[in-house]
Structure 1
């Protein structure tokens, strides 16, 4: 299952946005308002929970400086990745598009598609507001 966010423009150049996202503690400001937990567990990993949802632990899996960052689930129970592709627009602006990829059975995919889509929309709209 793959879900793409819309591409948004951020008021940071590609290097600035990449460095912001590489520092996992910054994800706290991008989280939806209904967050019930956010905790940095390592320099490259954090746990978060939204009200009424199970905790999700993410870690940095891959980086390509200033153009790509991939976060992935630490647990194998729900295997997925969240990839951000960054492109410079100018000295002070860049664009980012998020791609959620996961291997889910059809029933699970149907249940999580809407919440994941909303989650991606929140992340991108909060990045747009940076």
Structure 2
């Protein structure tokens, strides 16, 4: 299953946004309002839970400074990655877009598509509000 967020403009340079998003502690600031839990597990891993969904643990799997970050699930049962693409606009502004790649059976994909689309949309929107 493939999903993508809208492209959002962020009042941070490409490098500043990359640095922000490669610090897992900062994801707490861009989580949706439905967040019930957020916990940093290590320097590159965090766990979170949203209302009505199981806890998910994400790890930074790959980076290409300053334009690309891959967050991947640490669970075999919920195999997915979330790619963040950061493009420069000017010295103080960048654009970000999230791409979700999941390997689910058809039944699971039907159940999670709506909540996941909402989740990546909220992450992108909250990222656009950063200053």
Shorter-normalised TM-score: what interval?
over 0.9
Tell me how far 1:49 sits from its aligned partner: 0.2
The 3-state SS of whatever aligns with 2:90 is coil
Q: How many residue pairs were aligned?
A: 130
> What runs of 5+ residues in structure 1 fail to find an aligned partner?
none
Tell me how far 1:53 sits from its aligned partner: 1.1
The 3-state SS of whatever aligns with 1:124 is helix
> What runs of 5+ residues in structure 2 fail to find an aligned partner?
none
Tell me how far 1:52 sits from its aligned partner: 1.7
1:93 correspondence with 2:93 = yes
The 3-state SS of whatever aligns with 1:58 is strand
The 3-state SS of whatever aligns with 2:114 is helix
In structure 1, what is the equivalent of residue 47 of structure 2?
A: 47
Instruction: Provide the TM-score with structure 1 as the length reference.
Output: 0.98
Q: Which runs of 4+ in 1 moved over 3 A?
A: none
The 3-state SS of whatever aligns with 1:89 is strand
The 3-state SS of whatever aligns with 2:83 is strand
In structure 2, what is the equivalent of residue 60 of structure 1?
A: 60
Instruction: Provide the TM-score with structure 2 as the length reference.
Output: 0.98
In structure 2, what is the equivalent of residue 19 of structure 1?
A: 19
Query: Which digits, 9 at most, give the CA deviation of each residue in 1:103-129, with x for residues without a partner?
Result: 000110011110000001100111111
In structure 2, what is the equivalent of residue 125 of structure 1?
A: 125
Q: What is the RMSD of the two structures over their aligned residues, measured on CA atoms?
A: 0.5
Q: How far apart are the structure 1 equivalents of 2:39 and 2:51? A: 15
